[in-house]
Amino acid sequence: MCAVRPKLDSEPVVGHLSAIHDWPHAPLHRLSDAGVFMVTSGTYQKARLFRTPERLTFLTNSLTELCQKYSLDLQAWAVFPNHYHFLAQILQPRNLSRLTRHLHSSTVIWINEQDGAPNRKVWFQYWESHITFHRSYLARLNYVYQNPVKHGLVRDASAYEWCSAGWFERKADRAFFKTVRSFPCDKLDIPDDFDA
């Protein structure tokens, strides 16, 4: 994981895929360019399946280990009983779908084994956003770091064990830390209507 900010374009990326009509019932995954992505995924029917410390740790460790396996430079993460968010710099766009497929299938097997529910649907879908503006990147970093506070789980995000906020506070350059913390994130359009 890296606390150094990635290089982001100053202009939005508009590719040939912009003319494709989106399927209205599920997010369209347009993964043709390398860059920084924010990813959010939720459990089916927002079920709180990862509700214990052991389960949250398993999901967090699975995410961080698979990011290494698929060469995603994990920038920030927050894991909850029924959803997660992360930001990562991705050099091979197809690795994002590989990572989510692997993460979801391995955690489904494990959690369903824990609960004796072998055919239960666990994950609903995931959404990714390609971040192309530096200010957008900083706002989303702050959003992920502050997400445990947003959900009312802690008063200080660094106290939430399954989020990178504590790591960021301890390891980041102080000026960069203060810059990220200063970015407003309350008006971002991120799928996050979960009760954690």
Place of tokens 């955690």: 107
Place of tokens 């939430």: 160
Strand order in the sheet with 123-131: 72-79, 83-90, 35-43, 123-131
| DSSP secondary structure string for all residues of 68-125 | HHTTEEEEEEEE-SSEEEEEEEESSTHHHHHHHHHHHHHHHHHHHHHHT-TT---EEE
**In this structure, are residues 74 and 1 in contact, taking their beta carbons and an 8 Å threshold?**
yes
**In this structure, are residues 118 and 49 in contact, taking their beta carbons and an 8 Å threshold?**
no
- Domains of the chain from N-terminus onward: 31-182 (3.30.70.1290)
What pLDDT digit, counting tens, does each position of 1-48 carry? 444 444 444 333 333 333 333 333 334 444 456 689 999 999 999 999
What pLDDT digit, counting tens, does each position of 53-82 carry? 999 999 999 999 999 999 999 999 999 999
